[in-house]
Structure 1
Amino acid sequence: MASGTAPGVGGPTRARLDARTLRTDTWWLYPLTTFVVFASFVVYATWRAFAGADYYAAPYLSPFYSPCLGDCVKGSSDFGQPFGGWPLSAALIVLVFPLGFRMTCYYYRKAYYRSFWLSPPACAVAEPHRSYSGETRLPLILNNVHRWFWYAAVVVALILTYDTVISFREAGGGHVGLGSLIFVANIVLIWLYTLSCHSCRHVVGGRLRHFSKHPARYRAWTFVSKLNHHHARYAWLSLFSVAIADLYVFLLASGAITETRFL
């Protein structure tokens, strides 16, 4: 770029406009709402992750702590405690994987780039930054590991599926409680979000020259492509559902409420 040449919206081929935008609609509502909701979730999840308490109320284990691999309360470790000497909250051992998956997600990147960094805050609205390097430098270059986080997210989803199944279990038989139904709704939304991921679409149908020679993968690719159309919706719904599932377990474990049973 030549010296003195302005980048981005100030470039020589762009229209000379003094106004930041000519839009007259409430374009700021989407990034503002995203900022408030996302920031609220981050604050709540951070508090719960570091709390290290009230995460298990048999048979419910908070999805923030699953699998519980550290010094966990009795009955909450279905896969053992290989990190028994871990000095911090057990949630910090596993949360890095679902959190990494969401933070590097293509949709979430768009959402927090716009709402937190204003890059740009909306279409046809000038961003305040003087330069743009994309995802070629730290820390944003780390977003390129998204596909590997997707594999980890699948493992986490399988474990949460197991947690959902045993949420119907109790000593001497089974039961259906409000927590069981919340867990079912949560795992369905988590699977929809995970399978609708762009990386999943590439995994099942990428690097193929002829779909006609791979009918099974083509059907899988078609199915994931249909889910992918609603990826943003599943991203938000699963964010709410995992927080609600954790909150319900917290309220039970802390004694604030009692289980509502249907059977």
Structure 2
Amino acid sequence: MSAPTADRKATGVFSPGRAQISKRTLRTDNWLKSPIITDLGFAAFIIYATVRAFMQDHYYVAEYHYLTPFYSPCVSTGCLPEASHFGQFLPDVWWLPYAAMSLPFLLLFRLTCYYYRGAYYRTVWQAPTACAVAEPHAKYTGETRFPLVIQNTHRYFFYIAAIISVINTYDAIIAFHSPSGFGFGLGNVILVTNVILLWTYTISCHSCRHVAGGRLKHFSKHPVRYWMWTQISRLNVRHKQYAWITLGTLMLTDFYVMAVSAGWFSDLRFIG
């Protein structure tokens, strides 16, 4: 087999002692399909979420107390008073989202998530793009330098994400309201479903699993924590699926609230 071309550095699969294969990969399957689909999915969510975060309109249905999770908690002085469940203390300027107290932390929670980093390491940084495909980088420093060293803060963003999930739960509960008292509509189904899935994604996080059972030398001496660790471990197996599902439910929930608020269609009411 031919030696690696001169423009390739002797690292990774091209390092001394490894098989001298000049081709990038010997794979014959469509290995680019998965990273391309992942990139398109990420791009769709990022574009939608960015546009909605800076629209600063059609985020609340006052009649039924529907508040989109993209604007919760709404703490800007520009927020509708009825939508500001935790006060108004941020300035109302165009470059600052109404939910600026939560969106950055939720973004960092997802960016540092073990699944998400594995996904964008492959698709964005190509480290590597796919199994058995040589990566273009000359060296690998792992998560020891900026900016990847920030990945080690994931556990702290998990705590903040859990608090925000409590706030989203509160929003979903008070949405059971109608002009005549208790009310129940399609919006409630969507809000509650979204909250349940957000909790599932948050609880199935690797950091949550570690909080429940990490650093225990004897599970037999901690039966409650062992039970919690076992249940979280079962959810953790599907953490990837929950990560993608919640991106979809977040957009669906926001779109529904926006559509009802803008008057595109009325909320389908079952009670009240």
Match of 2:73 among 67, 71, 79: 67
Partner of 1:27: 31
Matches within 5 A, 1:1-80: 6-58=10-62, 59-71=65-77, 72-80=79-87
Equivalent residue letter for 2:168: L
Equivalent residues of 1:154, 1:194 under 8 A apart: yes
Partner of 2:117: 109
Q: Does 1:209 align with 2:192?
A: no
- List per-residue Cα deviations over 1:28-80 (Å, max 9, x = no partner): 11111000010110011111111111111131111011011112113101111
SS at match of 1:93: coil
| Change over 3 Å in CA distance of 1:130–1:27 after alignment to 2 | same
C-alpha distance in 2 between matches for 1:162 and 1:188: 12
Equivalent residues of 2:172, 2:192 under 8 A apart: yes
Partner of 2:5: none
C-alpha distance in 2 between matches for 1:15 and 1:254: 62
Q: Shift of the alpha carbon at 1:20? A: 1.1
- List per-residue Cα deviations over 1:70-119 (Å, max 9, x = no partner): 12113101111132x34232123320111110010000001111111211
Tell me the matched-pair count.
259
**Structure 1 runs, 4 residues or longer, greater than 4 Å off:** none
Q: Shift of the alpha carbon at 1:235? A: 0.5
- List per-residue Cα deviations over 1:10-29 (Å, max 9, x = no partner): 21132211111111122211
Equivalent residues of 1:61, 1:76 under 8 A apart: yes
C-alpha distance in 2 between matches for 1:94 and 1:196: 20
C-alpha distance in 2 between matches for 1:24 and 1:167: 53
Q: Does 1:81 align with 2:88?
A: yes
Equivalent residues of 1:113, 1:120 under 8 A apart: yes
Partner of 1:219: 227
C-alpha distance in 1 between matches for 2:9 and 2:61: 62
C-alpha distance in 2 between matches for 1:5 and 1:112: 24
Q: Shift of the alpha carbon at 1:245? A: 0.6
Q: Shift of the alpha carbon at 1:5? A: 7.2
C-alpha distance in 2 between matches for 1:242 and 1:170: 23
SS at match of 1:158: helix
Equivalent residues of 2:14, 2:21 under 8 A apart: no
TM-score (norm. length: structure 2): 0.91
Equivalent residues of 1:8, 1:132 under 8 A apart: no
C-alpha distance in 2 between matches for 1:5 and 1:118: 16
Equivalent residues of 1:56, 1:62 under 8 A apart: yes
| Change over 3 Å in CA distance of 1:5–1:119 after alignment to 2 | closer
Matches within 5 A, 1:229-240: 229-240=237-248
C-alpha distance in 2 between matches for 1:228 and 1:14: 36
Equivalent residue letter for 2:241: R
Percent identity over paired residues: 51
Partner of 1:172: 180
Partner of 1:182: 190
Q: Shift of the alpha carbon at 1:173? A: 1.2
Partner of 1:247: 255
C-alpha distance in 2 between matches for 1:39 and 1:110: 16
Q: CA RMSD for the aligned pairs?
A: 1.4
| Change over 3 Å in CA distance of 1:74–1:5 after alignment to 2 | closer
Equivalent residue letter for 1:182: I
C-alpha distance in 2 between matches for 1:24 and 1:135: 32
SS at match of 1:262: strand
Equivalent residues of 1:67, 1:77 under 8 A apart: yes
Q: Shift of the alpha carbon at 1:188? A: 1.1
